[in-house]
Structure 1
Amino acid sequence: MEKEAILLVTFGTTVDQATAAFKKLEEQVRVVFPGIELRWAYTAKSIRGVLAKRGIQIDSPITALARLQDEGYTRVVVQSVHIIPGMEYYDLVNVVDNMSHLRGISGKQFQSKIGKFGFHQLTLGAPLLYHLTDYQEVVACIKDLVPADPQHALVLVGHGSDHHSFSVYGCLNDMLRQTYPNVILGTIEGYPSLTDVKADLARKDFQKVTLVPFMNIAGDHAINDLAGSEPDAWQNELAQNYPVTTLLKGLLEFDNIVEIYIKHIRQAYELLN
């Protein structure tokens, strides 16, 4: 009897209210894949450590997969719950690849008295922005957030990256600006920066700004870097020139964004067959 599981992998969070976004994704996965074991893994060791002190145990991807294997799960989808195919995603690629090679030499599974060793099938689902269609769907997904007033700017703020995949943000920003004249994308760590966003805002006669995190959850970065009380928080920096409203809502709180992740899980699940 084949045992199937889905492992959702994300960076993680210590912000209790932000986990509601993860639960929204989890609930939808359970609806679409009823009866399949569903688990989470956090890639951030520091976050797992903080949660462990609170009595909350979350596995790393390697530990989660080892646990599933030990419990007899043979067909497993690992789904990247990341925005871009950056360092976190490629670390996950390596984990899945190495676990897949436990099948043995030349693809043959080791045999023992208790059965086959290793997963029979192990697949990996893509992050939010991977294929061109993903970008196009994300652009369409934010339509309801775009202010009707052309002088009211929507500024989406992602985490950013120093991985070569930082170009994802520039590509999406270009697609957004071609679709919506009053939407700008920036990042906290990388390009486009806050300086770039300020320059983009100054090129047009914007009268007010709404900030929205372009992150799966409204966690620590959204709370502190966007809406914090420090002078360098984005809302305080931009408030020097515009009235600013900050919407602390993660991407996973939007049904149409969740559906993109569900699509990627479906694609990975189909490879199990």
Structure 2
Amino acid sequence: MNFYKNMKKGAIVVAHFGTTHQDTKEKTIDIINKKMSKEFEKLDFFQVYTSRIINRILAKRSVENLNTSQMLEALKNQGYKHVIIQPTYIINGTEMEALKREVEQYSDYFEDIRVGTPLLTSTEDYFEVIKVIFEENVDLT
């Protein structure tokens, strides 16, 4: 995925389902965001929460999180031409399909817009996760 290294005005958007619990956010989403922004350091980093329910609950607490459409609209208006959207979903499912449909509505506004895959997309992905678990000696009990 080195195509992004020469991009001008490129963005990485990490799409999380979201959480309403600050402690969970710190242990999961914040760590993922930190690693992603470091890995894609040449791109401007953004995040979205895709759950309408979570965004609504957070809005009541005066915590603003843009949804995917709002973020893509903002990136379009700011002149971004290249966008990578990487979901943090575990599997392909309803949320992933909804994300793809939402992104498709904006495909004409960017030179290149790509959506990454969830963690467990191929059979090999399952074996890789099992390997990491065993290598880390994770106690599953």
Same fold (TM over 0.5): yes
| Greater Rg over alpha carbons, structure | 1
Percent identity over the alignment is 31
Checking the alignment, whether the CA contact within 8 Å between 2:89 and 2:119 is kept in structure 1 is yes
Is 1:49–2:49 an aligned residue pair? Answer: no
2:46 corresponds to? 39
Shift of 1:135: 0.9
TM-score of the aligned structures, taking structure 1 as reference length: 0.46
Query: For 1:145, what is the secondary structure of its paired residue?
Result: coil
Q: Is the 8 A contact 2:12 2:40 kept in 1?
A: no
| Mapped pair 1:136 → 2:131 | no
1:16 matched to 2:9? The reply is: no
Q: Which has the higher contact order (CA 8 A, sep 6+)?
A: 2
Alignment-derived partner of residue 3 in structure 2 = none
C-alpha deviation, 1:5, in angstroms: 0.3
**1:96 paired to 2:130:** no
> What corresponds to 1:77 in structure 2?
84
- Once the two structures are TM-superposed, the CA of residue 132 in structure 1 deviates from its matched residue by 2.0
Q: Deviations over 1:133-168 (max 9, x none)?
A: 21111111221114xxxxxxx3xxxxxxxxxxxxxx
Distance in structure 2 (CA, Å) of the matches to 1:39 and 1:27: 11
The residue that corresponds to 1:86 in the other structure is 93
Matching residue of 2:4: none
Query: Paired residue for 2:118?
Result: 127
CA offsets 1:159-208 (integer angstroms, 9 cap, x no match)? xxxxxxxxxxxxxxxxxxxxxxxxxxxxxxxxxxxxxxxxxxxxxxxxxx
1:51-200 equivalences under 5 Å are 51-100=58-107, 103=108, 118-143=109-134, 144-146=137-139, 154=140
Q: Distance in 1 between matches of 2:112 and 2:81?
A: 6
TM-score by length of 2: 0.87
- CA RMSD in angstroms, aligned pairs only: 1.4
What CA distance in whole angstroms lies between the structure 1 residues aligned with 2:13 and 2:38? 15
Shift of 1:77: 0.1
**1:222-245 CA-partner distances (Å, limit 9, x unpaired):** xxxxxxxxxxxxxxxxxxxxxxxx
TM-superposition CA deviations, 1:59-95 (whole Å, max 9, x none): 1111111111111111000111101001000111111
SS in 1 for 2:105: helix
Distance in 1, matches of 2:79 and 2:62, equals 26
**Structure 2 CA distance, aligned partners of 1:31 and 1:64?**
20
Q: Structure 2 regions of 5+ residues with no counterpart?
A: 1-6
- Give 1:98 deviation, angstroms: 2.2
Matched residues, number = 132
